[in-house]
Structure 1
């Protein structure tokens, strides 16, 4: 049986206010062709399908059109979707009955019965091959909040915690839920025909996972951020994880994987090789895991590669030679400038240097040489802070950032800002 693992599509995401619908559609078109070409039996989408909990109608149409086309092109394809921390569980599950009729199972949140017990049945999903035979069971766990996890009797768990050891009810509850769902999946395997595998899905931050700067929202609940890989039973053939945008193994274990995002979601991801993962199951084990690299529809550029003085930056921008392209295919540009002091005309100079070039200016990233002058205290006492006036703080900040005294015109401008609300009218009247 062949699986395809993807996550973190973030449909509807904008990059510094530039719409990315074209890039997402290019990925979905490529994914559709890949499903057909690779003869995939099941597609696992491990959360953060949308970029926010209130996605646009266009983003939702993009998702549902893809699901419809995937099922039409690959009639036996099973699709399993779990919600991520960016998704609205209820919104994602709303069309569930319609989607299930066309081979797509959506698990947005944990459901409890009248007795308060968790409905484990809906978390264990059968996966069938192209002939309709069940070859695997998917433990499909969405992003979990404290109210989603079962309450744990910590004193009864494995004989109770070691004396003095810290106990985290949230972590323990997550581990218990995975164990309960896995046990149900094992029962399904025992009652099924042949040697069936168990695959897990989750949207979480695992211990040791490498984050992508600038593009991932930290998951921090009750002081807990990262989860241990020990929550996955050794009998699990593969764990399809979402949340971290950099493709990686968890704890150096081949079968515990983040596939990463299919698109670069910030300039920090310029160097990432974005991908989906193809998993071939043989009985109850993963026989082979192969990355399939996603083509980049729109390039991201950083000019220069490292921050440089403004004159050098302008020269590089003027010399930038790019092929003509329609607006939606033009590369995004981050300009990195090293400044010695304030440069009020920075954007105007950059835009002038780019005039007529087929590129989209997404971001200007200024950095400054920080020189701390001798005699400037690193910290002040509370009494000293209480005695400072706003202009004193302004002077100190200027000195700390630029290593020199604040110019008279900047001090005057700051003083004008600090005037009472009617100061401008008072001056006009005078």
Structure 2
């Protein structure tokens, strides 16, 4: 038997409406170390978006490295495998790799190609060992695939030069073929990827599109049945995709108020020989509560805010609680007309309560004949939605798929430039 813990989308260093969340992330990582020890895990798989931005703060990086050291001290035989997601810098993830390997940690941030055009698959295959040191499985550790990494060899395969989706398929096929050759009888194959699969449910506002070229997702058929388990990252909602063996662990913490109402977790995976024996969700505790009030008229919102005082699940009256543990709060108010003293009235309702108001959204009525709300709140718009809205206002019609694909490609190029800058800025 081999026992794995699958997690993803930590987003260390996330700025939440301008507020840092280091206390929450540290509490999660402390809980994760305890869980690894209690469950006697053989390996930890982190399926991308370790950090929230390509150039994370020193404090965010310290959280990761302190966790790795602590996990190794308490479980010296634990294998840790982490991959870069679309929020991460592949260069930064791999930078300390030689040191991390001494702590049985394997960090994969990029794919690379040999001179003959074949994938350098060996560096992406990581052995997973049991408590006795015997290799029981191979992890196919596939970081987020940027267009520049998978389209370069396209012409040799007869594909269009910019066929990103075909490039993704080629990488998977070559990596799986290499794993088949490497494995011994009785050893399982475990794939780890940061991608958006067909049929998977996305969060309301916190996930940026990552597949470029008119496609928003890729097929689960990339993972043949011989792969015992597929550990996915990118989508924050924990879910299975078609089969029990193909799963998103989901983010361990809500990353947006839209994620408040569904559970957050890690997944314990048990392998028996080459087969999946069990996959069990382990709920992750929420170190800081998160509340979303409304949308509702002002009187109803104020009544809800008053009622929070009587909620035993929230420590509103515990003034000894450190401020960084006070619950986050979003308030959405439906107004008939602008109300200049709205913030003052909400603040008055919150007086004396250990709550942190992060966002106050005003919703004004629509003007007859107007398609969009009277007020556009840029906080709720990602770059893609903002571009589409701007295009429609300029040209009188929404952008078509080709235009959106061009925008996605340009945006990814900008993110890749940030990634390259982060690599050049190394000491």
Shift of 1:264: 0.3
d(CA) in 1 for partners of 2:108 and 2:100? Answer: 12
Structure 2 equivalent of residue 338 of structure 1: 334
Shift of 1:119: 1.3
Structure 1 equivalent of residue 292 of structure 2: 302
Local SS of the residue matching 2:330: strand
Quick check: 1:211 aligned with 2:202? yes
Shift of 1:281: 0.3
Shift of 1:152: 4.3
d(CA) in 1 for partners of 2:226 and 2:300? Answer: 58
**Residues 8 and 249 in structure 2, CA contact (< 8 A), matched pair in contact too:** yes
Shift of 1:30: 0.6
Structure 2 equivalent of residue 170 of structure 1: 164
CA gap 1:310/1:175 in 2 versus in 1, 3 angstroms: same
**Residues 91 and 109 in structure 2, CA contact (< 8 A), matched pair in contact too:** yes
Quick check: 1:358 aligned with 2:354? yes
Q: What CA deviation, in whole Å up to 9, does each residue of 1:200-234 have, x standing for no partner?
A: 01001111111111211111412222000111122
Q: What CA deviation, in whole Å up to 9, does each residue of 1:71-124 have, x standing for no partner?
A: 111111001011000000001100000001110011100123445543111011
Q: What is the TM-score normalised by the length of structure 1?
A: 0.80
d(CA) in 1 for partners of 2:215 and 2:143? Answer: 17
Quick check: 1:273 aligned with 2:273? no
**Residues 154 and 161 in structure 2, CA contact (< 8 A), matched pair in contact too:** no
**Residues 141 and 200 in structure 1, CA contact (< 8 A), matched pair in contact too:** yes
Shift of 1:315: 3.6
d(CA) in 1 for partners of 2:117 and 2:154? Answer: 14
d(CA) in 2 for partners of 1:377 and 1:141? Answer: 46
**Residues 179 and 233 in structure 1, CA contact (< 8 A), matched pair in contact too:** no
**Residues 143 and 193 in structure 2, CA contact (< 8 A), matched pair in contact too:** yes
Shift of 1:173: 1.6
d(CA) in 1 for partners of 2:350 and 2:326? Answer: 13
Structure 1 equivalent of residue 283 of structure 2: 293
Shift of 1:312: 3.0
Structure 1 equivalent of residue 384 of structure 2: none
d(CA) in 2 for partners of 1:68 and 1:342? Answer: 53
Write the mapping of 1:11-160 to structure 2, written as runs, cut at 5 A: 11-149=12-150, 151-152=153-154
Write the mapping of 1:219-238 to structure 2, written as runs, cut at 5 A: 219-238=210-229
Q: What CA deviation, in whole Å up to 9, does each residue of 1:309-331 have, x standing for no partner?
A: 21332243245312312201110
Structure 1 equivalent of residue 301 of structure 2: 313
Q: What is the TM-score normalised by the length of structure 2?
A: 0.81
Local SS of the residue matching 1:226: coil
Quick check: 1:261 aligned with 2:246? no
- RMSD, matched Cα: 2.2
Local SS of the residue matching 1:214: coil
d(CA) in 2 for partners of 1:52 and 1:144? Answer: 16
Shift of 1:155: 7.8
CA gap 1:307/1:66 in 2 versus in 1, 3 angstroms: same
Which protein shows a greater Rg? 1
Q: What CA deviation, in whole Å up to 9, does each residue of 1:23-67 have, x standing for no partner?
A: 101110110000000010010000000000000000001000000
**Residues 119 and 174 in structure 2, CA contact (< 8 A), matched pair in contact too:** no
d(CA) in 1 for partners of 2:141 and 2:292? Answer: 39
Give the gaps of 5 or more residues in structure 1: 158-165, 380-396, 398-430
d(CA) in 1 for partners of 2:304 and 2:228? Answer: 51
**Residues 317 and 353 in structure 1, CA contact (< 8 A), matched pair in contact too:** yes
Structure 2 equivalent of residue 408 of structure 1: none
**Residues 206 and 227 in structure 1, CA contact (< 8 A), matched pair in contact too:** yes
**Residues 96 and 106 in structure 1, CA contact (< 8 A), matched pair in contact too:** yes
Q: What CA deviation, in whole Å up to 9, does each residue of 1:224-268 have, x standing for no partner?
A: 220001111221000000000000111x21101000000000111
Local SS of the residue matching 1:206: coil
Shift of 1:9: 0.1
Local SS of the residue matching 2:308: coil
Local SS of the residue matching 1:84: coil
